[in-house]
Structure 1
Amino acid sequence: MTYAEEGARGFFRGMIPPLITVNGGFKYNTFADVLRVSSLSGGTSGAFIALLSCPLELVKIQRQLEQVMLKNQMKAGQISETQLAQASSWRAVKQIVQRKGVLGLWSGVTCHSARDALGTGIYFGGYESMKRILSKEGTSSGPIIHFMSGGFCGILSWLIVFPVDAIKPIYKRIL
């Protein structure tokens, strides 16, 4: 009903004032609060960003596969160097759109979104948690704590997300 009358904007009408007051007044009382809020915020932003980055990553994967195939065809004498040079990202976009339509650029968006939501959620949650663990109660965190927290959360997120990232190109090729 809301969508029919107001479109997608109707779902977000009146959302800004509560967000400002909730975020401005929220205090992290416990370690669990920090972890929960940071992970949820990171996961939400990761899922949203995936909608924008999915087409770019699909074209990147397409180009990587295309280069391997074209080089093998060139070695076998099936194509010339000029045909290899004609390959481009823009050409890959056109091929995807011709084969699957414009929405084909979002092939694998579910897996991409899950990977980015998981990775970014772990990253933000890990960063804020580690920063809180390393900081002394009641003091602000310095550059070393930020450095250590950033390193920890980066390693943690990739340890968990790397297997999903390795599978994603295969999943996108199947689609």
Structure 2
Amino acid sequence: MQLVVARIGRAHGIKGEVTVEVRTDEPELRLGPGAVLATDPASAGPLTIEIGRVHSGRLLLRFEGVRDRTAAEALRNTLLIAEVDPAEHPEDPDEFYDHQLMDLDVVLADGTEIGRITDISHLPSQDLFIVERPDGREVMIPFVEEIVTEIDLEKQRAVIAPPPGLIDESEAARDEVADGHSASGRDEN
């Protein structure tokens, strides 16, 4: 199975290094020297990591055969893809790979269906589940312990305890727009 583990950013310096937006919880495993990564677009790779280092809080990589700023800049926005065994799991039982969470059913503790995870957004402060509701709308669920109370891979579901307004806020907003009223009860027209 192929997983996106990073996106190449801008060139750094003149010797072929690039900044990288890490998209894996295990950069030391996936982005270490000697790692051979497929790319998207495929024409940019495969790329073999020669050197990796952290500079000012950002991961910098240099690839074999990329020796100058021009060659490094040509790789900008290229996705780095690692081949991962689908049976592989993180060491920590409370951590999951994105592919394990995709398509899980999202339900409340009482079994009420909320939707299905269609994407995961990795933000600096937290991750978000993008959940498609049965009616086709999307809702974002913060992937934090207080809200996502259980991940059951055997039952293919994520149990949530959303705070008031997280799920039904979008429904209330849609109804208000349809009625032409704001939350304050005043007419928006």
Report the TM-score, using the length of structure 1 for normalisation: 0.24
Return the index of the structure with the highest Cα Rg: 1
